[in-house]
């Protein structure tokens, strides 16, 4: 079975059916993307978050786990903030815990790992931000720091 990037409706389905999200490579540094994504998801989504980083004890007041295997609940989405060379090992962990979806953040792709994930029964998303996708479907991209204004020559009749 080969990897095929899921379309927008499939990604929406993955998010709607998910309850527990593990953020692998989570950081306690507010300038890091994983921290910004975590704060958004905690405040704007229905997800219960689990942070994974072997070098940190807490993030945003929550316990941080050393590995996916240490998380005491089933994980629906593994959201990965690690460099591409770390993806095969994280994929091994996700397969071992029987995660449902393996989500690689913006700029992260690994076709071989994606194919392994699909073969093991996981949904796989590459090079997409879970926060951006959530905000897009929730209609809140502007609240998430994105200017969604439409440039048009048509006059806005509501003004």
Residue 31 has a pLDDT of: 95
The CATH code of the domain that includes 72 is 3.40.50.720
Tell me whether residue 2 is in a domain: no
Tell me whether residue 109 is in a domain: yes
Contacting residues for 66 by C-beta, under 8 A, at least 6 apart: 52, 53, 54
Please, which pLDDT band fits residue 138 given cuts at 50, 70 and 90? Answer: confident
Residue 136 has a pLDDT of: 86
Contact, 114 vs 124, CB < 8 A? yes
The tens digit of pLDDT for each residue in 12-50 reads 999 999 999 999 999 999 999 999 999 999 999 999 999
Tell me whether residue 30 is in a domain: yes
Tell me whether residue 155 is in a domain: no
Structural domain including 110 reads 8-138
For the entire predicted model, the pTM comes to 0.86
Tell me whether residue 124 is in a domain: yes
Domain count, the chain: 1
DSSP string, 136-155: HHHT-TTTTT---PPP-SS-
Closest CA to 35 of 93, 105, 86, 136: 105
Tell me whether residue 146 is in a domain: no
């Amino acid at each position: 079975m080969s990897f095929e990037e899921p379309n927008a409706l499939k990604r929406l389905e993955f998010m709607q059916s998910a309850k527990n999200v593990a953020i692998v490579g989570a950081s306690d540094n507010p300038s890091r993307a994983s921290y910004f994504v975590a704060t958004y998801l905690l405040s704007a989504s229905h997800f219960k978050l689990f942070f994974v980083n072997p070098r940190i004890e807490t993030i945003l007041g929550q316990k941080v786990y050393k590995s996916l295997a240490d998380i005491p609940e089933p994980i629906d989405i593994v959201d990965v903030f690690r460099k591409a060379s770390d993806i095969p090992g994280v994929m091994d962990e996700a397969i071992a815990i029987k995660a449902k979806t393996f989500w690689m953040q913006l700029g992260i792709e690994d076709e071989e790992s994606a194919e392994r994930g699909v073969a093991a029964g996981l949904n796989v998303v590459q090079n997409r931000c879970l926060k951006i996708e959530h905000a897009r479907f929730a209609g809140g991209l502007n609240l998430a720091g994105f200017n969604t204004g439409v440039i048009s020559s048509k006059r806005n009749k509501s003004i």
